[in-house]
Amino acid sequence: MSEYHRPIMVNEVLEGLNVKDGGVYFDGTAGGGGHSFAILASNPTVRLIATDKDGEAIAEATKRLEPFRGRFRIFRTDFKNYAEVFDAAGVEKIDGFLLDLGISSHQIDTRERGFAYMCDEAPLDMRMDDRSPLTAETVVNEYGEEELFRILREYGEETFASSIVRNIAAARSAERIVTCGQLRRIVEKSVPAKYRYNACARKTFQAIRIEVNGELDGLKECLTGLVRRLKKDGRACVLTFHSLEDRIVKEVFRSLAEGCTCPKFFPVCVCGKKQEVEIITKKPITAGRDEVEENSRSTSAKLRIARKLE
């Protein structure tokens, strides 16, 4: 089976979405169509709207979902453009949505995409949408040192960001850094010897990937807006793969689950804030042992679910 067809925690996602007869669902990160397929297969009366920035993913998902022709529409765009997508699909409210915020296995395994730090000759690309002008090569070679440091610290939570940036600056002054192998070796040289292991460049690559694709830009606002497009009892399901994403999702759900914030001594509410969701997952759901053994990339996955109240 293609890596494209290995959706993570598919049963947990379906249970979380609580798929209803005649429901309309949104898969904002279609990938190869794995979760979308499961949603459509779960009930013959549901319809699906899906988005993805990756042209290869759109082609694969379209082929994968062919048995459900007439019940789905896929748009090549960022899920953060959901309002335009819903308008194009003639949909005002939905019964549930899924955001799988991880990078797909296919993207990681495709050498030319430049996501994998262990592919020495792979180009520094990292774009999920190959129409975008910004690549990892541009970030590494043309961003100022202060900005690079901020990206590595904020997006990669990299302890050795200062040393890594200093060595990147020195290396690029001699020659342009154009391959994953060049960048990985710079990172390996920048960290203390006891931390030099195969995955020591993971945080740096993660940080640059997030910057290239704007993964955290507007995520809070988008998630809040999507929840408000849910019908009563509609479900929000979000799969995250690193702490920065998970923190944003947790904070958005918590804020929407909070009611009146007026001081307790106020005789009446003046803030007007009402509880909008019930958080279904007090703690995030993680992949079971069998799934982790079969697919190691599910190890870091966390699923959070909320239910719309009104």
Q: Measuring CA to CA, how many Å separate 248 from each of 141, 205, 210, 219?
A: 29, 21, 14, 8
Q: What is the CA radius of gyration of the chain?
A: 21
Percent of the chain with pLDDT over 90: 79
Average pLDDT taken over every residue of the chain: 92
Mean pLDDT, residues 176-191 taken together: 94
pLDDT in tens, 209-233: 999 999 999 999 999 999 999 999 9
pLDDT of residue 112: 58
Mean pLDDT, residues 85-99 taken together: 98
pLDDT of residue 2: 43
Residue 4 pLDDT exceeds 80: no
Count Cβ atoms below 10 Å from residue 14 Cβ, excluding itself: 19
Residue 130 pLDDT exceeds 80: yes
Residue 143 pLDDT exceeds 60: yes
Residue ranges, CATH 1.10.150.170, the chain: 110-213
Residue ranges, CATH 3.40.50.150, the chain: 3-101+216-308
Domain 3-101+216-308 annotated CATH 3.40.50.150? yes
Residue 160 pLDDT exceeds 90: yes
Architecture (CATH level 2) of domain 110-213: Orthogonal Bundle (1.10)
Q: What are phi and psi of 241, to 5 degrees?
A: -130, 0
Close Cβ partners of 167 (under 8 Å, ≥ 6 residues apart): 186, 189, 190
